[in-house]
Amino acid sequence: MTPAKLEANRRNAKRSTGPRTVEGKALAAKNATRHGLLSGEALLPDDDRATFEAFAGALRAELAPAGELEALMVDRVVACAWRLRRVLRVEAELFQEGRFDYADTERGIGFAFVKSGGADGFATVSRYEAGLERSLFRALHELQRLQAARAGEAVPLPVAVDVDLAVSGGGGFDAPSATSAIDATGAEGG
């Protein structure tokens, strides 16, 4: 982008005030929602509210939060788990769309991988799924730590391990080596 174009963009941005009406603000709030995997709201307009409420209620009953902090962690677990369910739906739709060639002839699931080529929707969905799983398990582990502390149990600090992977000249991986680890007492090991 040229310096003149950058300067023009900056001048235009200073004049922009964004949406002013309630309707405009509500619409702008949904600008980032495309597939719903990273949306601010767990429940999207095309989701079934009753199914979501039943799902959330069952998880809340099973996880039994006590207090606001535990309830916050359970809400996080519910949101991540609901989005993970959505990932399965998105993946199924990608497969369904990808099964057809350009003449709308069904070619099978394998064709979906061949057709996707460089801009791979499957890789994107997989990346979102991995991030959602990490968020789910972080929230679940923190909830378990909070609940154990509330029950009077000793709660060890999380363990941190540094792992170095080296690629050998033959195209394979050398064995991982833990360079340092901090145990639950805070002592460094190696």
- Calpha distance 129→79 (Å, rounded): 13
For 144, the token pair is 């378990």
Q: Do 72 and 129 share a structural domain?
A: yes
Show the low-confidence residues of the chain (pLDDT under 50).
Answer: 32-34, 113, 118, 178-186, 189-190
Place of tokens 């057709």: 115
- Calpha distance 138→42 (Å, rounded): 17
Q: Do 105 and 43 share a structural domain?
A: yes
Backbone angles phi, psi at 46, to 5 degrees: -90, 0
Q: Do 190 and 99 share a structural domain?
A: no
Q: Do 167 and 80 share a structural domain?
A: no
Q: What is the pLDDT of residue 8?
A: 82
Q: Do 171 and 90 share a structural domain?
A: no
Say how many domains are in the chain: 2
- Calpha distance 163→161 (Å, rounded): 6
Q: What is the pLDDT of residue 117?
A: 52
Q: Decide if 181 is inside a domain.
A: yes
Q: Do 53 and 79 share a structural domain?
A: yes
Q: Do 151 and 186 share a structural domain?
A: no
Q: Do 133 and 41 share a structural domain?
A: yes
pTM above 0.85, yes or no: no
How far is it between the farthest Cα atoms of the chain?
A: 65
Q: Do 40 and 82 share a structural domain?
A: yes
Q: Do 163 and 104 share a structural domain?
A: no
pLDDT for 129-147, tens place per residue?
888 899 899 999 999 999 9
Q: Are strands 188-189 and 177-182 parallel, antiparallel or unpaired?
A: antiparallel
Q: Do 145 and 170 share a structural domain?
A: no
